Amino acid sequence: MSKSISKAATDEVRPGQISPPNLRRVRVTIVGTANYVANKFSGEAREMMAKKQAAGSQAKKKGEARPGKDFDASYRGSMHTDADGRPGIPASTFRQAMVSACRLVGFKMTIAKLSVFVVADGVDVDDGAPIVFFTKGTPHRVDSYVRNETGVADIRPRAHWDAGWESDLVVEYDADTFAQSDVVNLLMRVGKQVGIGAGRPDSKQSCGQGWGTFDVSRVVALDPAAA
């Protein structure tokens, strides 16, 4: 990877030396080598939390009936979907994973955060988060045994896409910082060593479940204006 930007950032900059962003785009097709597992904090869960907080102390009355869990609703709520119900993966997931992968190659993460971006295909219907659609794969429900932050055991329905799922990523990058090969190699490292979604190798809570890994199968350079 080119590190000339790091040296330039430490030099004194005189008027007229700052160039405009040299942005390029590349389309990368990825193919899942393991399950992708969605783990969205659903709109239903946010609504229940909001009602509980709005109720204040009244919500803590002893003996108050507790509504049963709707497992199908929890499954649907674990997915990121647009207004038409089309499922996708948060674009920020890939960007964060690429930045995280920079630790493996000694590249400054703070510079990478300013240099790589993932172009969204749509937005989540609940929270407006940018998402990248699947181009292949169908989700199915899996009820996972988990422990909440309090240590209480729970059964959490999640949407799983079996290995073989696919997605087309359009990555915009600063060509003064990264070459196209750098971007593709970062994504390859994300697919093998970082992962995406719940149970990924780079999970903050554990070493993961081996989920969320993928291979890069196709790379196409794009003209910035045409992508």
| Whole-number pLDDT of residue 87 | 97
> Domain for residue 4, yes or no?
no
Give the helix/strand (H/E) hosting 181.
helix 180-189
pLDDT digits (tens, 9 = 90+) for 177-199: 999 999 999 999 999 999 999 99
Q: How many CB atoms lie within 10 A of CB 39?
A: 17
Angle (deg, nearest 10), helices 91-101 and 180-189: 100
In a domain, 213, yes or no: yes
Decide if 112 is inside a domain: yes
| Residue 48 pLDDT greater than 80, yes or no | no
Domain that holds residue 207: 20-38+88-139+161-222
In a domain, 178, yes or no: yes
Mean pLDDT taken over the chain: 86
Q: Cα separation of 88 and 167, whole Å?
A: 9
- Predicted pLDDT of residue 120: 98
Whether 134 and 89 have beta carbons less than 8 Å apart is answered as: yes
Q: Are 134 and 98 in contact (CB under 8 A)?
A: no
Burial-class residue 126 by CB neighbours within 10 Å (0-12, 13-18, 19+). Answer: middle
Residues 6+ apart with CB under 8 A from 102: 108, 109, 112, 186
The answer to whether residue 59 is domain-embedded is: no
Rg (CA), the chain: 21
Q: Per-residue pLDDT for 221 more than 60?
A: yes
Number of domains in the chain: 1
Torsions phi, psi for 217 (to 5 deg):
-110, -20
Among the residues of 78-146, which ranges form H helices?
91-101, 109-112
CATH number, residue 26:
3.30.70
